[in-house]
Amino acid sequence: MAATAIATRILHNAADAEDIVQDALIRVWKHRERFRDEPRFGPWLFRIVTNRALDVVRHRRIAEAHAAELTERVQHATAEAELLSAEIRGALEKLPPMQRLVAQLFLGHGFTHAEIAGMTTLAEGTVRSHLSHARRKLRLAFDGW
């Protein structure tokens, strides 16, 4: 059918072209009372097919632009997260061993002061002290961020 050929040329996809033609035929059927000039049916149908196919192309371009923008944002955020993660690991590595352990358990894993004290056999006050020193040093390490 000529309508399918028109849609295929615009969309470059036979399956999508068939969908567009079916949609156009449904529209023609629903609005058949608007059509009065019988010899001009073909151009009317072709105009509907062309407009619907062009709508699909426009929507695809918009969707592709949004997808590209989203992909770029995700890649940028991933790169930033990896950089920050490396910076955090580096800053943690510079801490004394017990401060590093307490900071990782509290900040990274969410354990309470009491739980950390039980794991490390340190007094809870000592755990708080190590955590306080670790936080201060980490703040200083990231002061320029």
pLDDT, tens digit (0-9, with 9 covering 90-100), for 96-140 = 999 999 999 999 899 999 999 999 999 999 999 999 999 999 999
Pair 126, 116: CB distance under 8 Å? no
Are 99 and 115 contained in the same domain? Answer: yes
Provide the angle, in degrees to the nearest 10, between the axes of the packed helices 124-141 and 41-93. Answer: 120
Q: Indicate the average pLDDT of the chain.
A: 90
Are 24 and 77 contained in the same domain? Answer: yes
Q: Which two tokens stand for residue 68?
A: 């590209």
Give the list of residues 6+ apart from residue 141 with CB closer than 8 angstroms, or none.
87, 91, 94
Which amino acid, residue 33? Answer: E
**Alpha helix positions (H), 31-40:** none
Instruction: State the CATH number of the domain containing residue 105.
Output: 1.10.10.10
pTM to 2 decimal places? 0.52
Are 102 and 117 contained in the same domain? Answer: yes
Domain membership of residue 13 as a residue range? 1-93
Are 87 and 99 contained in the same domain? Answer: no
Domain tally, the chain? 2
What span, in angstroms and rounded, lies between the C-alpha atoms of 109 and 61? 44
Are 87 and 139 contained in the same domain? Answer: no
Are 12 and 72 contained in the same domain? Answer: yes
Which of the residue ranges 16-25, 36-45, 105-114 would you say has the lowest mean pLDDT? Answer: 36-45
On the question of pLDDT at 56 being above 90, the answer is yes
Are 118 and 50 contained in the same domain? Answer: no
- Of 73, 93, 113, the position where a domain reaches its end is 93
